[in-house]
Structure 1
Amino acid sequence: MVDVILKKGKEKAVLQRHPWVFSGAIERVKGKPANGDVVRLVSAQGTFMAYGFYNDKSRVALRLLEWNEEVPVDEAWFRAKVADAVNARRHVLADGENNTCRLIFSEADYLPGLIVDKYADHLAVQVLTSGIENNMPVIIDELQKLLHPKSIFDKSDASSRQHEGLVTENKLLWGSQPPELVEVKENGITYGINIAEGQKSGFYCDQRDNRCILASYAKGKKVLDCFSYTGGFTLNSLKSEAASVTSVDSSALAVETLNENIRLNNFDAAKHQAIKADVNSQLRRFKDDGEKFDVIVLDPPKYAPSRSALDRASRAYKDLNRIAMLLLNDGGLLATFSCSGAMDMETFKQVLAWAALDAGKQVQFIHQFCQPEDHPVRSSFPEGEYLKGLLCRVF
């Protein structure tokens, strides 16, 4: 096995079991590993430190896997890690209210670059590193043995694959082609999931708990769900007997699927309006028209893909939340989210304070939202904590 030698003074993060080693921390490589190979990381003094995936095309040149030299990273190792992750989630699916969740969450489950989501009898995978790509035959075989799915579909269309020298993929890996809409249950609500054409892996199960929490405030309220996608917050609000729900999304496919989800659940379509529009533009139209709401949900896409984008993203978050605050009735509730890992909670609170100041409003933070247990955060990898949100009362 090839040895990668760490620069002197760069040992701290590795000893703390952070899974990333950047290219600038590497002194030299003894040999010529192929991208995606498992290599040995050793200190400047030659002491073993960890095994990891190597890739010379990525800023993260090593993604560490195993810190015990006596435990080989072989086929049995990958099978065990897949099984551990799947078995840790089985209780999430045991109550009959949910048949969808995240089964494998990349670094959090010691499989950097692998995402696996379960949608009823179908699995959607995203492969983001060359090391995982090299080991997919074993991973697919283990998933088949553990779960007996009808299909395993590759949704590896993220642009981040380019940083690993990989092309994007959108194809069936195993089994039969999934139907255009796979019906899943979350919180007892039925959703149609378009695995092949939907965003990310097809659905955002990271908001499962937060949808329930917000729905508890929706009864009898006029709700606005922005960046609604296929209707997670919309459907939970209707189930909780909201007076009305307006959903806004720029994707025609998302709006079409949302309307189909209303029908699937036999909710009162007269209480719902779906608008295909850019959210920021639509919020300004609502303001010009004098519209007001009791509850507003803002669940935008990732505005800050990296720390270098944080200042620009903060301005975008501030403007979005400012205009939403202006659309709330006095004492109304704003549920606002960021899925940007670079945006920490304290910065997010500061952005909302600025938004409130510009809007001439007062804000109380009454609840903090986070990602659910099937999206765990490793203590040695805080970067895995990406989803954050605040429920705000606005005066």
Structure 2
Amino acid sequence: MIDVILKKGKEKAVLQRHPWVFSGAIEKVKGKPANGDVVQLLNAQGEFMAYGFYNDQSRVTLRLLEWNKDVQVDEAWFRQKVATAVKSRDSILANGTNTCRLIFSESDYLPGLIVDKYAGHLAVQVLTSGIQNVMPVIIDELKKLLNPESISDKSDNASRAHEGLTEAENKVLAGSPPPELVEVLENDVVYGINITEGQKSGFYCDQRDNRHVLAMHAKDKKVLDCFCYTGGFTLNSLKEGAASVTSVDSSALAIETLSENIRLNKLDGTKHTAIKSDVNVQLRKFRDEGEKFDVIVLDPPKYAPSRSALTRASRAYKDLNRLGMLLLNEGGLLATYSCSGAMDMETFKQVIAWAALDAGKQVQFIYQFHQPEDHPVRASFPEGEYLKGLLCRVF
């Protein structure tokens, strides 16, 4: 096995079992490992520290896997990690839910692998060269454990590019192609999931708990669901008795799927209005028309993909939330989210405070939203905590 030597003084994070080693922390590489190979990391004195995936095309040159020198990182090792992750989701899938994230990358000790379950179908994202090398083993283990009807590759090409990987083909890796709409059940709400053409892997199961919490505040309320996608917050709000829900998204496919989801759940379509529009444009239109709502959901895409983008993203979050606050009735509720890992909760709270100041509003934080248990945060890898949200009462 090829040795990678760490620079003197760079041991702390490795000893604390953080899984990333950046290129600047490496003194030298003894040999020429191929990208995706498992190598062993040594400290400056030549002592063993960890095994990890190597990739000289990535800023994260090593993604560490195992800190015990006597444990072989072989086929059995990867099968065991897959099996452990899948087993840990049993409680989520016990009642009223048949969709969740089965494997969450570094947080499940498989850096660069995401696996989502949609009823009898699986969607995978392969985001590192190391995981790409062992995909035959992972696919085989998933088939043995779950016997899925299909396994589809839905890899995010922007993330793959950072690893020097070619674009994914988004093809069926096992089984038969999934139907155009796969029906799944989450908290007793039915969703039609378009695995082939939908965003990311097809559905955002990371908002499962948050959709349920928000819906408890929607009864008899006038709700605005922004960046609604296929209607997670919309469907839960209608089910819990919202007086009306207006859903806004720029994707025609999302709006079409949302309408189908309302039909699947036998909800009152007369209480729902779908608008295909850019959210920021539509919010300004509502403002100019004097429109008001009791509850507003703002669940935008990732504005800050990295720390270098945080300043620009903060301005975007502030402007979006300022507009939302202006559309609320007195004492109304704003459920606002950020899926940017670079933005921590305290920074997000500060951004919301700035938005309130600009809007001439007072805000109370009454609840903090988080990602659910199938998106665990590894103690040694706080970067896994990306989803955050606030339920705000606005005066």
Q: What TM-score does the superposition give when structure 1 sets the normalisation length?
A: 0.99
SS of aligned partner of 2:347: helix
Cα distance in 1 for residues equivalent to 2:178 and 2:36: 30
Q: Determine the structure 2 residue equivalent to 1:214.
A: 214
Cα distance in 2 for residues equivalent to 1:58 and 1:136: 19
Cα distance in 1 for residues equivalent to 2:174 and 2:89: 22
- Measured against aligned partners, the alpha-carbon deviations of 1:13-46 in whole angstroms (never above 9, x if no partner) come to 0000000000010000001100000000000000
Cα distance in 2 for residues equivalent to 1:44 and 1:122: 47
1:1-395 equivalences under 5 Å are: 1-95=1-95, 97-169=96-168, 170-395=170-395
AA in 1 matched with 2:313:
A
SS of aligned partner of 2:115: strand
Shift of 1:193: 0.3
AA in 1 matched with 2:133:
N
Structure 1: which 5+ residue stretches go unaligned?
none
SS of aligned partner of 2:92: helix
SS of aligned partner of 2:139: helix
AA in 1 matched with 2:277:
A
SS of aligned partner of 2:373: coil
SS of aligned partner of 2:235: helix
Cα distance in 1 for residues equivalent to 2:333 and 2:164: 45
Superposition RMSD on alpha carbons, in Å? 0.5
Percent of aligned positions that are identical: 82
- Measured against aligned partners, the alpha-carbon deviations of 1:170-218 in whole angstroms (never above 9, x if no partner) come to 1100000000100000010000000011001000000000000000000
Cα distance in 1 for residues equivalent to 2:183 and 2:76: 34
- Measured against aligned partners, the alpha-carbon deviations of 1:329-383 in whole angstroms (never above 9, x if no partner) come to 0000000000000000000000000000000000000000000000000010000
Shift of 1:300: 0.1
Shift of 1:168: 2.1
Cα distance in 2 for residues equivalent to 1:164 and 1:213: 37
AA in 2 matched with 1:372:
P
Cα distance in 2 for residues equivalent to 1:390 and 1:211: 13
SS of aligned partner of 1:126: strand
Structure 2: which 5+ residue stretches go unaligned?
none
AA in 1 matched with 2:357:
L
Cα distance in 1 for residues equivalent to 2:157 and 2:86: 23
SS of aligned partner of 2:179: coil
SS of aligned partner of 2:86: helix
Cα distance in 1 for residues equivalent to 2:35 and 2:162: 12
SS of aligned partner of 1:273: strand
AA in 2 matched with 1:161:
R
Cα distance in 2 for residues equivalent to 1:67 and 1:75: 17
AA in 1 matched with 2:119:
A
- Measured against aligned partners, the alpha-carbon deviations of 1:146-184 in whole angstroms (never above 9, x if no partner) come to 001000000013311012121222110000000010000
Cα distance in 2 for residues equivalent to 1:197 and 1:49: 43
Cα distance in 2 for residues equivalent to 1:157 and 1:17: 27
AA in 2 matched with 1:2:
I
- Measured against aligned partners, the alpha-carbon deviations of 1:237-263 in whole angstroms (never above 9, x if no partner) come to 000010000000000000000001001
- Measured against aligned partners, the alpha-carbon deviations of 1:127-163 in whole angstroms (never above 9, x if no partner) come to 0000000000000000000001000000013311012
Cα distance in 1 for residues equivalent to 2:187 and 2:52: 38
Cα distance in 1 for residues equivalent to 2:166 and 2:201: 17
AA in 1 matched with 2:272:
H
Number of matched residues?
394
Q: What TM-score does the superposition give when structure 2 sets the normalisation length?
A: 0.99
SS of aligned partner of 2:91: helix
